[in-house]
Structure 1
Amino acid sequence: MTTRVKETERKYEPVDTDGGLLAGVPGVTVVGGGEDLLLDAVYHDTADLRLARNGVTLRRRTGGEDAGWHLKLPLGDDARDEIRAKATKDAKRVPKELTDLVLGLTRGEPLAPIAHIRTKRKRWELLDDDGRIAAEVVEDDVMAQTLGETSEIKAWREIEVELVEGGGEVFDAVERTLGRPSDAPAKLLRLLGDRIPKEPKAADRITAYVRQQVAELRRQDLRVRQDAEDSVHQMRVASRRIRSILQAYKGSRSLREELRWLGGVLGEARDLEVLREHLQAEVDALPAELVLGNVRQRLTETFAPREQAARAEVLETLRSKRYFTLLDRLDTLRIRSAKARKRLRDTRRRVDRAWRNEARGNGTLHDVRKAAKRARYVAEAAGKKKLARRMKKLTKRLGLHQDSVVARQELRAIGVQSHLDGDNGFTYGLLHGRQQRRAERVEESLRRKV
């Protein structure tokens, strides 16, 4: 059993945090006399610090109101998710609920204690004008030690301000006294220091783009395992972007095939979700007198088991050795980014060729869409924003057409089964006709543009 808390906090260099210091800040009232806490945390990671290298920390802490296991995941800016689990009897055994979430980073490598951090903390509450707890201010005296064959000890003081019910205006208020936020990282990363290597600067724009997408894929991996909204879609997009660059720049064929495999697994789950939501919205848009029979119930019964099975397959894939090997290969991926203009020109010509094939009956609008997606991502990587926007607009329009194609196939199958079960199939036929008209409108708009 885990609980989730979103933290938004900033660190500051140590100054006097006595209540009198912040008392004059407009909109803030300091309460409490500086409550004393003693926090003792042991941090776990792989031998090569795979969690820390991705900004993730995992600790078992005693002391304070939230003693137990804490997994902290970066969200960007000043925010992060903290996922908490109860303390285990075996202090070295990390709860499975947490190890499962970071499998995309550890890839099965064992987790072990790598640092011990003791913190003497003083805490104050900041109230807003309505008496609500806007934030907490803590002053930490930190004693930190690395664990392993060699050990290093560091000590420092720092101040943290964490929002409770307040917003960014609280930071603005306290910074009139505390000054600008410090650049200090999280406690563990501060202790590890140079043991966390900085990623070398990308040699060119294309390499930087691919690195960004690999990092995004890892980030969405964490979110997919938590069943976060839109995570499967975003992970699928990141894999498509990487694959598009590999295709354009003649990268490893086997790696492209592995990315195709991953995209296919993610796509099944994502497409079912999108289709169900679309059909439910279409039903909701109909007048009640045109919804005959248990249409909504049948849609749920049709899609729920398939979505559940697709979700299970995604999770099984993300636990597989094949997937871990793919991640390892992406970590060391190198792109030969020469002839960027030619690569971009070639992908644009693929779109033109797909249009010609479709006009001759040798291809489909879906083929045009796939070619346009590749052109969009290659244009993004090259910094050609105008072309990327044009291709994005085109793929969106073609996506509406493809959605209608898939929807009609599903509606026909559901309608046939409904008839065989003795139910009224009228509404499915009506929805099928609406989808047909939708496709025709897209085709008409495309013909005017081409």
Structure 2
Amino acid sequence: MATRVRETERKYEPTDTEVGLLAGVKGVTVVGGGEDLLLEAVYHDTADLALARRGVTLRRRTGGDDAGWHLKLPLGGDSRDEIRVKDAKRVPKELADLVLGLTRGEPLAPVAHIRTKRRRWELLGRDGEVAAEVVQDDVVAQTLGESAEVMTWREVEVELVAGGSDVFDAVESRLGKPSASPPKLMRLLGDRLPKMPKPPNRITAYVRKQVAEIIRQDARVRQDGEDSVHRMRVASRRIRSVLQAYKGSRSLREELRWLGGVLGEARDLEVLHNHLAQEVDALPDELVIGNVRQRLTETFAPRQQTARAQVLEALRSKRYFTLLNRLDALAVRPAKAKRRLRKTAERVDRAWRDVDRARGTLHDVRKAAKRARYAAEALDKKKLARRMNELQKRLGVHQDSIVAREELRAIGVQSHLDGDNAYTYGLLHGREMNRAQRITESLGHRV
């Protein structure tokens, strides 16, 4: 059984090795004379350090009150999630599965051993609660494998418990600014961690940002994190739109289409179920006739479970790992980028003309606007991106209404066949028609 802990901490260079490191600092009270701990940790990674290159660490720790396996996932800034599993001789499968998006099925093996002699104090705030812990670490670190390197250093860490950022302000009045030193493992590995080459252009930089988002959300999707499927899907769509606009690899676009389709099924069902449930809640009780909420759950829950299972199956596949490897190496070098962006934006006008001639749909306009938006973002054309984003959102509401009406009709028919009253589904169907009509009227002929 895994437990999750949110950590927020900062490192500092030691300035005082005496007991009472922060004694006298305004706003905090130092408790105790320092508790001594001996911690041993063996870090695991792939041969090419796939975890460490993304700032992720997986270790088996002994000593202290949190012995066991720890997976640390960076959240940005001073925070990270730490997922803990009880001690075992081998890497726990549930932790290995969470980092498959990084390891891509490559084996995990020990890469470093770090021994820490730690002295720990608690800091109390004015209300008497433990605001933070401060530790002074004497570190002996050694790489494992064909070549071994040993390093030693001392550092100070302050980790928030019940306190806020004001605790850091108080601490820094004594210890100074936070250290620029990386986490222990990254400090040890040093030059063994390759640096990402500078992107050759703005578009490639944009794509790399989206690839990083896919990797970031990968672990969250595997944990069923809130909004994780949506964020991963959007990042994949952004890359695909950029490749479409700037003539990138057709085969890579098709693989991104596959990934987006798998993610889309799960996301669309989630959004639709939540929307219809909210619509039912908005109705007066006397208009909700029959077991409407229960039927919605019975309709969507099995489909959502199936869709999630399909997402997890895809994220464990060699096809997905190959796609990630290709994205890691992707560089977009378009000729005449501004001209291609202009042509992409013109697709929206053509889609509108097709609607006028009854040869296209508003959904086609939406897809063209979405491609233009992401292509504009990649070139930092903010005005065009904002205009396309607004159009995309409004047409998205229209398309959602169409999908909702199809579902409501099917649910209503089944309810009638089961001998239940289908009145509420018809009422909701009418509300969706009105919602779509309002969007259509607001668009006029052109946005």
Provide TM-score, normalisation by structure 2: 0.99
CA–CA distance in structure 2, aligned partners of residues 22 and 42 of structure 1:
31
Q: Does 1:82 align with 2:48?
A: no
List, as ranges, runs of 4+ consecutive aligned residues in structure 1 with deviation greater than 4 Å. Answer: 17-21
CA–CA distance in structure 2, aligned partners of residues 255 and 337 of structure 1:
16
- Which residue number in structure 1 is paired with residue 325 of structure 2? 328
Q: Of 158, 161, 168, which residue of structure 2 is paired with 1:164?
A: 161
User: What secondary structure, in the 3-state scheme, does the structure 2 residue paired with 1:375 have?
Assistant: helix
- Which residue number in structure 2 is paired with residue 23 of structure 1? 23
CA–CA distance in structure 1, aligned partners of residues 258 and 445 of structure 2:
36
Q: Which runs of 5+ in 1 are unaligned?
A: none
CA–CA distance in structure 1, aligned partners of residues 158 and 303 of structure 2:
46
Answer yes or no: is the 8 Å Cα contact 1:207–1:337 preserved in 2: no
- Which residue number in structure 2 is paired with residue 257 of structure 1? 254
Q: Deviations over 1:310-362 (max 9, x none)?
A: 00000000000111111111111121232111111011001111111111111
Q: Deviations over 1:392-442 (max 9, x none)?
A: 111110010000000000000000000000000000000000000100000
Corresponding residue pairs, total: 447
CA–CA distance in structure 2, aligned partners of residues 122 and 106 of structure 1:
34
Q: Of 195, 199, 214, which residue of structure 2 is paired with 1:198?
A: 195
CA–CA distance in structure 2, aligned partners of residues 17 and 201 of structure 1:
41
Answer yes or no: is the 8 Å Cα contact 1:7–1:163 preserved in 2: yes
Q: Does 1:443 align with 2:427?
A: no
CA–CA distance in structure 2, aligned partners of residues 381 and 17 of structure 1:
50
Q: Match for 1:62: what amino acid?
A: T
Q: Match for 2:423: what amino acid?
A: F
User: What secondary structure, in the 3-state scheme, does the structure 1 residue paired with 2:444 have?
Assistant: helix
CA–CA distance in structure 2, aligned partners of residues 15 and 414 of structure 1:
69
Answer yes or no: is the 8 Å Cα contact 2:43–2:58 preserved in 1: yes
Q: Does 1:399 align with 2:396?
A: yes
1:320-359 matched pairs, under 5 angstroms: 320-359=317-356
- Which residue number in structure 2 is paired with residue 10 of structure 1? 10
Provide TM-score, normalisation by structure 1: 0.98
- Which residue number in structure 2 is paired with residue 145 of structure 1? 142
Q: Of 361, 365, 389, which residue of structure 1 is paired with 2:362?
A: 365
User: What secondary structure, in the 3-state scheme, does the structure 1 residue paired with 2:34 have?
Assistant: strand
User: What secondary structure, in the 3-state scheme, does the structure 2 residue paired with 1:130 have?
Assistant: coil
CA–CA distance in structure 1, aligned partners of residues 17 and 362 of structure 2:
65
Q: Does 1:296 align with 2:293?
A: yes
- Which residue number in structure 2 is paired with residue 62 of structure 1? 62
Answer yes or no: is the 8 Å Cα contact 2:247–2:334 preserved in 1: no
Report the more deviating stretch, 331-340 or 381-390. 331-340
1:266-281 matched pairs, under 5 angstroms: 266-281=263-278
Displacement, 1:202?
A: 1.2
Q: Does 1:212 align with 2:239?
A: no
Q: Match for 2:70: what amino acid?
A: H
CA–CA distance in structure 2, aligned partners of residues 353 and 370 of structure 1:
12
Answer yes or no: is the 8 Å Cα contact 2:221–2:228 preserved in 1: yes
Displacement, 1:248?
A: 0.8
Q: Match for 1:335: what amino acid?
A: V
Answer yes or no: is the 8 Å Cα contact 1:19–1:31 preserved in 2: no
Q: Deviations over 1:18-56 (max 9, x none)?
A: 454523222111001110000000000000000000110
- Which residue number in structure 1 is paired with residue 51 of structure 2? 51
CA–CA distance in structure 1, aligned partners of residues 341 and 278 of structure 2:
38
CA–CA distance in structure 1, aligned partners of residues 292 and 332 of structure 2:
50
Q: Which runs of 5+ in 2 are unaligned?
A: none
CA–CA distance in structure 1, aligned partners of residues 357 and 444 of structure 2:
14
Q: Match for 2:409: what amino acid?
A: R
Query: Over the residues paired in the alignment, what is the CA RMSD in angstroms?
Result: 0.9
- Which residue number in structure 2 is paired with residue 317 of structure 1? 314
Q: Match for 2:386: what amino acid?
A: R
CA–CA distance in structure 2, aligned partners of residues 20 and 33 of structure 1:
7
CA–CA distance in structure 2, aligned partners of residues 359 and 234 of structure 1:
34
Displacement, 1:17?
A: 5.3
Q: Does 1:38 align with 2:38?
A: yes
CA–CA distance in structure 2, aligned partners of residues 369 and 380 of structure 1:
16
Displacement, 1:15?
A: 1.6
Displacement, 1:233?
A: 0.1
CA–CA distance in structure 2, aligned partners of residues 17 and 435 of structure 1:
68
